[in-house]
Structure 1
Amino acid sequence: MSPQQKALILPKKRGNLKVDSRSIPSPGTGQLLVRIHSAALNPVDYKIHDTGIFVTHYPVILGVDIAGIVEGLGEDVENFRKGDKILAHGNLYIIDQGAFQQYALTVATFTAKIPSNQSFDSAATVPLGLDTAVGGLYGSDRGAGIDPPWVKCVGDHGPKRPIVILGGSSSVGSYTIQLARLSGFYPIVTTASPNNENLVRDYGATHFFDRHLSGNQLVAAINKVTDSPIGIVFDAVSLPETQSVGWRLLAKNGILVLTLPASVKEDEGKGRKAVYTHGDPHLPYNHELFSNSWPMVEKWLSEGIIQPNNHEVLPNGLEGIIGGLERLRMGQVSGTKLVARPQETL
């Protein structure tokens, strides 16, 4: 193996992304060295590039959605071996763990084997989207705090609870719908563009509404779906206008789960709260939750409990990421995850 690899590097805050060479890292304790076959793009990648959020040290390698083959093992790694096909949640705070390069280190705790029914490309669409949904639904500090499916049998006992998921065709929204189904919610109400109605219904949504309806129209329509109080609204879009809709739908003592900072004002007396969830398993307060969820990932994918996102493969390896991020920035991607193949970099 050559000691050098190609990587898409952000050299400074708001700098120009550039493919360059860097050393292939060596795995430390609890880590895997992975030859990355597929890396998925997320909106947070261009937001970090454009604004510098989350990152304090440069150079940076963006991307956290990794799928590839294990090339090396650090000490105390027990459940993997060289040659395993894996998916993993990378870490943009550590340059050796970024996804937009040909080789990266992954943390074994947040790595899973890819079952035979999935490709590298499909598996790469899973980590951040699924982890954000897991954190938002099951996290006790920055989530709704409901019992996760690996703790107790849900769905067969007790009254059905409604849930509203705004932005159901997004990556986070799609995994939230699927986990809501697994956790026994009913009805599962979602919004999306009309051309994505079949997609979100396939994921498990029981009721669909056009996201282009006005706030008043959405609130009125969704409130007709169920007589039960809506205790959880998961806003996978989290723009001010969607937060306003979610807040108005929420029952007393309900929780609005957000993927961006809250713009709604918590009101006294009703007990409602808005939580800004973070689907990063590397953050200390998330370690326990994701240490329990990642061992479920291979099973969920193998059994079809969780379906990966639809995806589109970008041309030109790492170079193709630059144009892909621009498409995300311009809002030109819907119901699909963009995936790059670093090994195809010229």
Structure 2
Amino acid sequence: MAPTTQKSLILPEKQGQWFVGEQPVPTPGPKDILVKITATALNPVDWKIQAYGYFIENFPFVGGTDGAGIVEEVGSEVTNFSKGDTVVFQGWFENPKATFQQYAIVAAEIVAKVPKNITTDQAATIPLGLATVVTGLYNHNPKAKTISFTAPWEEGGTTKFAGKPAFIIGGSSSVGQYAIQLAKLSGFSPVIATSSLRHAEFLKSIGASHVIDRTLPAATIQAEVAKLTGGKPVEFVYDAISLPDTQPLAYDVLAPGGHLLLVLPESVPAEKKKEGDNKTIVTVFGNVQTPENREVGVALYSRLTEWLETGKLVPNRVEVLPNGLAGIIDGLERMKKDQVSGTKLVARPQETA
């Protein structure tokens, strides 16, 4: 049996200071599982919630949405998981679904088993980054923030985009790495990414055909993309950074009638937008827990184990933080100062003192 209380990383009030405290261990509903979290990953949204008082209104708040661990209990209607299974899942911004703690509850339909070739630390890097790409690209729900492309698991999904170039800005970011891999899975070619060149070999190993130095001037990058595509129109751009200096580049590279996915609110200068551009811009919301993202989430999680097992999908590279949940506080500070590149920070909640 699970214990009755657990350690959690708690934000007591808006823009307060994180601290490790005690919370009750929840009981799963009939369609849920209770996961003993052995690894949780840090994401930019986590420090922004604390620093800017962003998004969250109910306190005390437990953060974290990337989890992997061991099934502790299964609900009465769950048939595809058993106690002891190693799983990966995406949490939500409220208790008991958050992952900066030792136990969390999640609906069984949006959980995947972790295959033997992947560690739980690696698995924890997947949920948010992958959902941020999948929900924006392949969701067909009319209420969702999506460009509704045919998914690789749907008919024609691996051939429809064959020979069409894709451009990923911020290829070495967590989201960028999954954007590269899904562009490749969808059949886009070439898949061109910007990144710090020290990550070029790794990005090529996961599916980038070409890596352009992200520090080059925007006009140089644009010219390089045109050269690499042989002047073919780029109808799909994923800006995994979405800052005011990357969005204009993303918009300029995108062909008329093309689709641009952003991870932050749009800030493309109005003077760039020409009559008849017909460029679709969507800011994604990458969580499979929301009602409008749930169906595509179920489709994704039913395939995730196989993707990982066969190497179709490679997790982010990991840096494990010391001191369990307490180590997250320093980790978030490092992310805030932009001191993390090409790896995902992961904490192990069970190692909390």
- Aligned residue pairs, count: 345
**How far apart, CA to CA, are the structure 2 residues paired with 1:72 and 1:155?**
38
Which shows bigger deviation, 72-81 or 200-209?
Answer: 72-81
**How far apart, CA to CA, are the structure 1 residues paired with 2:19 and 2:274?**
47
For residue 247 of structure 2, what is the aligned residue in structure 1?
A: 243
**How far apart, CA to CA, are the structure 2 residues paired with 1:19 and 1:178?**
36
Which shows bigger deviation, 221-230 or 133-142?
Answer: 133-142
Task: Measure how far apart 1:113 and its partner are.
Answer: 0.4
Superposition pairs for residues 182-261 of structure 1, below 5 Å?
182-226=185-229, 227-261=231-265
Deviations 1:81-105 (A, max 9, x none): 111110000011x211110001111
For residue 50 of structure 1, what is the aligned residue in structure 2?
A: 51
**How far apart, CA to CA, are the structure 2 residues paired with 1:159 and 1:64?**
33
1:160 pairs with 2:163: yes
For residue 95 of structure 1, what is the aligned residue in structure 2?
A: 95
Contact 1:258–1:276 (Cα < 8 Å) also in 2: yes
Q: Structure 2: which 5+ residue stretches go unaligned?
A: none
**How far apart, CA to CA, are the structure 2 residues paired with 1:2 and 1:267?**
60
For residue 111 of structure 1, what is the aligned residue in structure 2?
A: 111
Contact 1:136–1:234 (Cα < 8 Å) also in 2: no
Secondary structure at 2:178's aligned position in 1?
A: helix
Contact 1:102–1:342 (Cα < 8 Å) also in 2: yes
Secondary structure at 1:254's aligned position in 2?
A: strand
Deviations 1:118-177 (A, max 9, x none): 111011111101111112221344233211011125445775111000000011000111
For residue 78 of structure 1, what is the aligned residue in structure 2?
A: 79
For residue 263 of structure 1, what is the aligned residue in structure 2?
A: 267
For residue 136 of structure 1, what is the aligned residue in structure 2?
A: 136
1:334 pairs with 2:332: no
Contact 2:159–2:186 (Cα < 8 Å) also in 1: no
**How far apart, CA to CA, are the structure 2 residues paired with 1:158 and 1:296?**
21
Task: Measure how far apart 1:220 and its partner are.
Answer: 1.3
Secondary structure at 1:287's aligned position in 2?
A: helix
Deviations 1:223-263 (A, max 9, x none): 11112211110000000111000000111111110000000
1:304 pairs with 2:311: yes
Contact 1:38–1:68 (Cα < 8 Å) also in 2: yes
Contact 1:67–1:86 (Cα < 8 Å) also in 2: yes
Contact 1:65–1:125 (Cα < 8 Å) also in 2: yes
For residue 320 of structure 1, what is the aligned residue in structure 2?
A: 327
Secondary structure at 1:49's aligned position in 2?
A: helix
Q: What TM-score results when the alignment is normalised by the length of structure 2?
A: 0.95
AA in 1 matched with 2:256: K
For residue 10 of structure 1, what is the aligned residue in structure 2?
A: 11
**How far apart, CA to CA, are the structure 1 residues paired with 2:160 and 2:252?**
29
Contact 2:161–2:186 (Cα < 8 Å) also in 1: no
**How far apart, CA to CA, are the structure 2 residues paired with 1:249 and 1:157?**
21
C-alpha change, 1:146 and 1:82, in structure 2 (3 Å) is same
For residue 281 of structure 1, what is the aligned residue in structure 2?
A: 288
Secondary structure at 1:28's aligned position in 2?
A: coil
**How far apart, CA to CA, are the structure 1 residues paired with 2:182 and 2:162?**
18
**How far apart, CA to CA, are the structure 2 residues paired with 1:159 and 1:183?**
8
Task: Measure how far apart 1:107 and its partner are.
Answer: 1.7
**How far apart, CA to CA, are the structure 2 residues paired with 1:267 and 1:310?**
40
**How far apart, CA to CA, are the structure 2 residues paired with 1:155 and 1:3?**
47
Q: What TM-score results when the alignment is normalised by the length of structure 1?
A: 0.97
Contact 2:33–2:74 (Cα < 8 Å) also in 1: yes
Contact 1:312–1:338 (Cα < 8 Å) also in 2: yes
Contact 2:173–2:240 (Cα < 8 Å) also in 1: yes
AA in 2 matched with 1:61: V
C-alpha change, 1:154 and 1:139, in structure 2 (3 Å) is closer
For residue 120 of structure 2, what is the aligned residue in structure 1?
A: 120
- Residue 176 of structure 1 is aligned with which of 176, 179, 187? 179
**How far apart, CA to CA, are the structure 2 residues paired with 1:158 and 1:60?**
42
Secondary structure at 1:253's aligned position in 2?
A: strand
Q: Structure 1: which 5+ residue stretches go unaligned?
A: none
C-alpha change, 1:281 and 1:274, in structure 2 (3 Å) is same
Deviations 1:177-219 (A, max 9, x none): 1111111000100000011111111111001100001111111
C-alpha change, 1:10 and 1:221, in structure 2 (3 Å) is same
Secondary structure at 2:51's aligned position in 1?
A: helix
